[in-house]
Amino acid sequence: MVRVCVVSKNEEVKKITVSGHAGSARKGEDLVCAGVSSVVFGTLNALDKLTSESVDLKVGQHIVIEVLNLLDEKCQLILQTMLIQLATIEEQYSSYIEIKQEVSS
């Protein structure tokens, strides 16, 4: 299962962690994993090109997006767009992707 953990502070996205694999089909045929990967890596590319000073991006075992400037409206818009796209996938494939929301103090 793909797990997306979203940490917010004052209604702004502070951190997003994406981990796991959908496992909805055999390797190379997993459309859920392909969809999630497209959304996430497209977001990483947009953040890197448009708001690189406002975020810290880590790609490894887990993908971690940490927002350094919560007031960067462009960064927040890009992240909200990503979350809407992932929520759309979750609506259809909830057995393979889970989005959890946490509030930070």
Count of positions (residues) in the chain:
105
H/E stretch holding 67 reads strand 63-67
- Distance CA(72)–CA(69), nearest Å, equals 6
Summarize pLDDT for 7-34 with one digit per residue, the tens.
999 999 999 999 999 988 888 889 999 9
Query: Is domain 2-98 annotated with CATH 3.30.70.1490?
Result: yes
Distance between CA atoms of 68 and 86, rounded to whole angstroms?
Answer: 22
pLDDT value for 27? 81
Mean pLDDT taken over the chain: 96
Q: What's the rounded mean pLDDT across residues 84-90?
A: 98
> Is the model's pLDDT at 95 over the cut of 80?
yes
- How far is it, in rounded angstroms, from Cα 95 to Cα 90? 8
Q: What is the CA radius of gyration of the chain?
A: 13
Note the pLDDT tens digit of each residue in 54-76.
Answer: 999 999 999 999 999 999 999 99
Q: State the catalytic residues.
A: 21, 33
Q: Is the pLDDT of residue 105 over 80?
A: no
- What the block records as the tokens of 63 is 């993908």
